[in-house]
Amino acid sequence: MSETSKFHFKSLDAIRTIAFFSTFLAHSFRTENSAILNSTLFKAIDYIKETIGFGVPIFFVLSGFLITYLILKDQEKERFTIKNFYIKRVLRIWPVYFAVVIFGFFIFPLIRSLVLHQPTTENAHFLMYLFFLSNLDQIFNGQLPFGVGLGPTWSVSIEEQYYLFWPILLFFLPKRNFVKGILSVLVVTTILALIFNLPHTHSITSMIYLSMGSLFGYMSYYNYKNINTKIAQSGFVVILLILVSTVSIYNSHFLPYPIKIIVFSFGIGMFILFQIYSPNWSLSKIKILEDNGKYTYGLYLYHSIAIFVVYTLFKSVLHVQETILSVIVVIPVLSLALSYLFARISYKYFESYFLSLKSKY
């Protein structure tokens, strides 16, 4: 979900764009109209979005992969420090995150009260969001926060928790033995998630994705030549079969959820390696995907605000009568366009300033 260095793997931005679009589809179709809800077309759309709504898992595996690879790379060149790692993470993550938190807790209530003349009762706790514990707050509340924009922050909180302890783990383990630490985290989090039946938004459950991504990052760094050869020989059909089978298992009902996460994150990891090392079938060749990957962090955090703005404009301001066309086409398309506008403006005039400071560290 974020950039970490000037070092660049091809196709990762394209994968980020796909991950965001998957997340957007999962959130963009809203209606309270029973006739539309019960229509065959809406049910089909709803089924599709549930089937392919795995954007956040892709972001998690990508983060684990890239963070681990870059830490190992910096360690090899003897330029890695935990302090600089934390500073770079702060410069990338905090500005947009706290902009959204401020909007959700302070600006949104004013809009709802002064513009929409509707009451606001917030169930989220500001301190939990301030300290990147929003995922736990949402679990304890048993529902999404009332403040618009706060919902998606749960995954950012988990990534910040990962960023907090992961470099420390790597720093104190011998480089070649770090794989033991990764496997330990993967096994322990899977067991805990199974025993306590933890939800997917729990830090421990999500750490399965992140540690699997880290495992692929480790393997990629230390086994580059071998992986490069194997991936080049495997071909697109093999990777496609792996991806289809893991998606099918992820959407099945015959395995415990943590086990499905392991299988699915393995498939994502294989797809990442294929995209990085395969000379053919590279998503980086699709410019609209590759060029917009740098905006995906903003797109992810702003998209729920954009959906709220468009939906409220249609329903509460213009009082437009809902139709199946407006629900599945007009509102989602306008919401996506507004999300993109927010993200582009944010990246150019807000995020870029903080990203430029990362070069000092």
The pLDDT tens digits of the residues spanning 304-331 come to 999 999 999 998 888 889 999 999 999 9
**Residue 344 belongs to some domain of the structure:** yes
| pLDDT value at residue 228 | 67
Position 220 in a domain: yes
Q: How far apart, in Å, are the Cα atoms of 290 and each of 9, 16, 295, 329?
A: 11, 8, 10, 25
For residue 119, tell me if it sits in a domain: yes
What token pair was written down for 205?
A: 């459950």
User: How many domains does the chain divide into?
Assistant: 1
281 phi-psi bin (left φ>0, alpha ψ -120 to 50, beta other): left
Tell me which residue range forms the domain holding 220. 12-360
Q: What mean pLDDT do residues 188-217 have?
A: 97
CB contact at 8 A, 135 and 97: no
- How does the average pLDDT of the chain come out, rounded? 90
Task: Compute the distance between CA of residue 336 and CA of residue 354 in angstroms, rounded to an integer.
Answer: 25
Query: Residue 257 falls within a domain, yes or no?
Result: yes
Residue 84 has pLDDT above 60, yes or no: yes
- 1 pLDDT exceeds 60? no
Q: Is residue 7 part of a domain?
A: no
**What's the distance, CA 217 to chain centroid?**
17
In a domain, 3, yes or no: no
Kindly calculate the radius of gyration of the chain based on its CA atoms and give it in whole angstroms.
Answer: 21
Helix (H, G, I), strand (E, B) or coil at 333: helix
| Dist CA 330 CA 332 (whole Å) | 6
Q: Is 69 part of any domain?
A: yes
**Over the stretch 232-290, which tens digit does the pLDDT of each residue have?**
666 677 777 888 888 888 888 888 999 999 999 999 998 998 888 876 778 889 999 99
φ/ψ of 124, rounded to 5, equals -85, 155
Q: Is residue 4 part of a domain?
A: no
Return d(Cα 201, Cα 139) in angstroms, integer. Answer: 7
pLDDT at 7 over 70: no
Close Cβ partners of 85 (under 8 Å, ≥ 6 residues apart): 71, 163, 167
Q: pTM of the predicted model, to two decimals? A: 0.93
> Which of 277, 297, 285 is CA-nearest to residue 55?
297
Indicate if the alpha-carbon torsion angle 91, 96, 101, 107 is positive or negative: positive
Contacts of 201 (CB under 8 A, 6+ apart): 135, 138, 139, 154, 155, 158
**Predicted local distance difference test score (pLDDT) of residue 114:** 85
